[in-house]
Structure 1
């Protein structure tokens, strides 16, 4: 199992890369997340209004807005993954906010995986809370894996993406859990010191960097071949990424075997 010092060092690197992006391109991130902030305010004020008026009929609309917001964040995470890989750019942030809707397979696949992961996590939670949390951590990278396959023209099922996420997170669940805990203080700071418009992109970029690192490690396994997506080593967060789209980044990727991808 990974040494605690190594995990702390990796966590520092992920956060340092994210801060580098935020410090140099804050307005990009502000506009990138602007639709999410607007939807969040709409949901918040809507809940207050419905509670005061005892009108619960609008709850379905609020749930729909929350779902749309979650899907937008997933698409934004795709953008941030590309930035960390050095295959994205900092242009057209508002347009990039709707990445999840720019491609039907992104939208449908993400929606299906949200539902399936939610069901599986809930079923595990029926046993005990802890197994549910563990499985939630294990399935956390499924949508990103699914998207990588799509971008490389490779077929993958929803259940297969979940399985690959579980295997990818083997040995990394505690690291991911601790990284989540490390943002609790930042969340509290949003109340009195630091605005959420900085912390939320910082947190999401950090988790995108985490996935990029894990996916890159999967391709560095020396033995065997796997059928998983071929990815690149993460770029330095302080470097200006290229403007090359992900779809054209892997034209000659060589397929590998499941054993290597899922170690």
Structure 2
């Protein structure tokens, strides 16, 4: 587990070191929204402005959605089907398709509700479930890109199955960035650490998807890139797992 975590972080660092200007512009809208939220919160707290608080919540939601779309971009980069070009345009990937936006928004809300309900029991179950549901949006997006239909609850169930045996690994990987986050205060700028962390988690999903491709009965979908950088199907070293929705019973969808 440790060696894999190091490899995922090493791959992410390699991308970032070689393409820092790309990542800087890719995350620029998120940084701008973060700065606006910070100064807005200071101003609204001074004035005790309820309407201002609603605007801050909206900014936070938009920032979260942009971050999801950026994760899609980073997943494609790790798979070798994306290019380090047009970063500003790719920052708004979440808005490229209505299904991306609506599906991600719906899943964020549903996952939050499920996690909140589990947290009412105890904090630990809430944390465990949040880890289990962490890949749902990426699975949902992969289905969309293959032209397959998938329900929100099914995407969550598939995430839970994908994360079986990997939740602790995911949790520890998150903890490994605490030191980096603290370093942002003194030495290293967040404009380097934040992309580094997000690319690592994107690589984590790609790795689990590839492992799933090796074990699924239906075989993997092969995704690679041709000389022009456009995705295609064929034999290649990058294997991407898109679970077959028909292989899960209706009972699985109600275990949440």
For the criterion TM > 0.5, the same-fold answer is yes
Q: In structure 2, what is the equivalent of residue 89 of structure 1? A: 83
Aligned length: 241
Contact 1:89 1:242 in 2 (8 A): no
Once the two structures are superposed, residues 54-112 of structure 1 have per-residue CA deviations (whole angstroms, 9 ceiling, x without a partner) of 22221111100100000000000000000000000011000000000011000000000
Q: In structure 1, what is the equivalent of residue 191 of structure 2? A: 197
Measure the CA separation in 2 of the matches of 1:51 and 1:167: 43
Measure the CA separation in 2 of the matches of 1:36 and 1:110: 17
Q: In structure 2, what is the equivalent of residue 225 of structure 1? A: 218
- Where does structure 1 differ by over 2 angstroms across 4 or more consecutive aligned residues? 229-233, 253-259
Is 1:174 equivalent to 2:145 in the alignment?
no
- Aligned-partner SS, 2:7: helix
Once the two structures are superposed, residues 173-228 of structure 1 have per-residue CA deviations (whole angstroms, 9 ceiling, x without a partner) of 00000000000000000000000000000000000000000001111016x337xx
TM-score normalised by length of structure 1: 0.87
Contact 2:75 2:202 in 1 (8 A): yes
Give unmatched runs, 5+ long, in structure 1.
1-6, 236-240
Measure the CA separation in 2 of the matches of 1:147 and 1:119: 20
1:244 maps to which of 219, 230, 248:
230
Give unmatched runs, 5+ long, in structure 2.
235-240
2:131 maps to which of 137, 149, 152:
137
Which structure would you say has the larger RCO, counting Cα contacts within 8 Å and 6 or more residues apart?
1
Contact 1:88 1:242 in 2 (8 A): no
The alpha-carbon distance between structure 1 residues 196 and 77, as it changes in their structure 2 partners (threshold 3 A), is: same
Measure the CA separation in 1 of the matches of 2:199 and 2:153: 26
Contact 2:209 2:242 in 1 (8 A): no
Q: In structure 2, what is the equivalent of residue 238 of structure 1? A: none
TM-score normalised by length of structure 2: 0.89
Measure the CA separation in 2 of the matches of 1:231 and 1:163: 23
- Aligned-partner SS, 1:10: helix
